[in-house]
Each structure stands twice: as structure tokens, then as C-alpha cells.
Amino acid sequence: MIYQQRYVIKKLVVRDFQKKYLATYLGLPWAFLQPAAIILVLWFVITIGLRGGLGHGDAPFLPWFICGMIPWFFIQESLNSTSGSLLSYSFLIKQMYFRVGMIPIITLITALIIHVFMVLLLMLIVMLYGSYPTLYWLQLPYYMLGSVLLLMGVGWLTSSIMVFVRDMQQIISIFITLFFWLTPIIWPHTRISGNMRYLVDLNPFFYITNGYRESLLMEGWFFENVKLTIYFWGLTGLLFVAGALVFQRLKPHFADVL
């Protein structure tokens, strides 16, 4: 399906990219300045305001922190853009030749392009702090693939529901805020023990953000934690199938509502 419409998808990805980043005066730099501003503010609060109150082990704080923030920015942007994608591209829904299921994927690809550049910048920062490329770095495409499939399923689910329930956008915003603080991004997961640890392990976004840290800094393989890996892919598969089924079930009614 994707291969058959690859030329249309390519044109729409370029259009979406231009709409988001090239339609403003500053243009593409906004894709990097906004995350950089958030990182700097949180870094100042944690290192200066809390004076290192959120310990992070042996790794230098800044690369450790950014290794968690970069995948989170991708997750956040993808959740926001895919959930509202059908509303943004409503003019395509009545086009009989176009597969509507591609619309959330288009916005996801746009977010992924920026994410790849952010990951390259992240690698440079990590190397500047003395951590040089190892075999563990080869895991990054694996974690990217996992995040893309997870977000694709969630994107199909939320975008199809938002056509009928516009409050979904506010729900997504609350969801993103809650999971930002519940995901060990600015605090180390090693501080959680006992039954409370399950709250962290059951969070699929933790698998992604922690995977980036283990690949670039902590030198850990994804298959070393078998249970967590099985759980993540089981949940990802479930959300992917559920999102696709809900999307297909609601798709015939999109044109009537939009």
C-alpha cells in the first residue's frame, strides 16, 4: 500500500514539511530552537534550581538528559500531528484514489525526518562528552522502528476518533503532559523500586527513551531485558492492530462528518 502510493506520499510529506517549517519567517530552525529552549530551561531548573537533586548515575547530566528528551520530542510531535492529521487533510478524504490511512503516516514521516537530524546532533553532543561510537549505537534504528510502529497505531486510533470527538485534542495534550512527568526523562528510573517499578515498566515510552540512553551511554543491549522487550512489542502490536481496525471501521463515515 505504501509502496504503490510512494510518489503521492513523497509529495504530501514535502508539502507537510513546508507547511510546518518553511511557512514562517525563521523557517526550519524552529524545529531545533523550540526543543533547545525546552532543554535549556529544564537543564537550568534541575542543575541550578535543584542543584543536582535529580541524580543520574555516572553519566554526565547533559548528554544523559538530552538522550531522553530527543526521543520524547519525537513522541510528542508525532502524537500531536497524527491525532489531528485527518482534520488538517480533510480535502484528501473525498479523493477516491487516495488511501485515507496514509494521512497519519505522512505527518509521522515529517516528524521522523526532523527526529533523524536531532539524533545526529545528539550523537555529536555525546561524542563531545567523550562517549564515542560503539556497537551499541547500532540499536538506534531498532528503537526508532519500535517508536514509529507504536505511534502509527496510536495515530490511527486517535485521528479516527478525533473526527467525531474533537475533544480528543485536549485529551492528547493532557496525556502528553502526564506521560512526560511519569516517564523517567528528567529523573532516573533506578530511584523507583518495589511494586512502583511496574508503573515505569508498563510505560511503553520508557522503553524507547531508556533504549536511547542504553545505546549511546549505558552500553546495554535491548535483548538483555527479555520481559520488557516482549511486553513492549506485544503492546505495540496490540495498539497497531487496534488502531488499524478502528480506523477501518470509522473510515466510511469520515467524509460525512468532515
pLDDT of 219: 82
Q: Distance between CA atoms of 52 and 190, rounded to whole angstroms?
A: 16
Structure confidence at residue 165 (pLDDT): 86
Whose CA is closest to 74, among 115, 13, 31?
115
pTM over 0.95: no
Report CA-CA distances (Å) from 206 to 106, 107, 221, 231, 240: 25, 23, 15, 12, 18
Percent of residues in the chain assigned helix, strand, coil, to nearest 5: 75, 0, 25
What's 216's DSSP letter? I
Number of other CB atoms surrounding residue 40 within 10 Å: 10
pLDDT score recorded for residue 136: 93
Helical ranges in 183-224 per DSSP H: 197-201, 204-213
Q: CA 29 to CA 66: how far, in whole Å?
A: 18
Could you tell me which residues come within 8 angstroms of residue 96 by beta carbon, excluding any fewer than 6 positions away? none
Q: Is the torsion defined by CA of 121, 70, 162, 99 positive or negative?
A: positive
Q: Which residues have CB under 8 Å from 70's CB, separation 6+?
A: 35, 115, 118, 119, 122, 212
Question: Do 158 and 168 form a contact (C-beta atoms < 8 A)?
Answer: yes
> Measured in whole angstroms, how far is the alpha carbon of residue 120 from the centre of its chain?
16
C-alpha cell recorded at residue 230: 516482549
CA atoms within 13 A on the CB side of 68: 27
Question: How many helices, marked H, and strands, marked E, lie in the chain?
Answer: 12, 0
> pLDDT 10s per residue in the chain (258 long)?
555 556 667 777 777 766 666 655 556 665 667 677 777 766 665 665 445 545 455 677 888 888 999 999 999 999 999 998 888 887 777 765 668 888 899 899 989 988 999 999 999 988 988 888 899 999 999 999 999 999 999 999 999 999 898 888 888 888 888 888 888 888 777 777 777 777 778 889 999 999 999 999 888 898 888 999 999 999 999 999 999 999 999 988 887 776
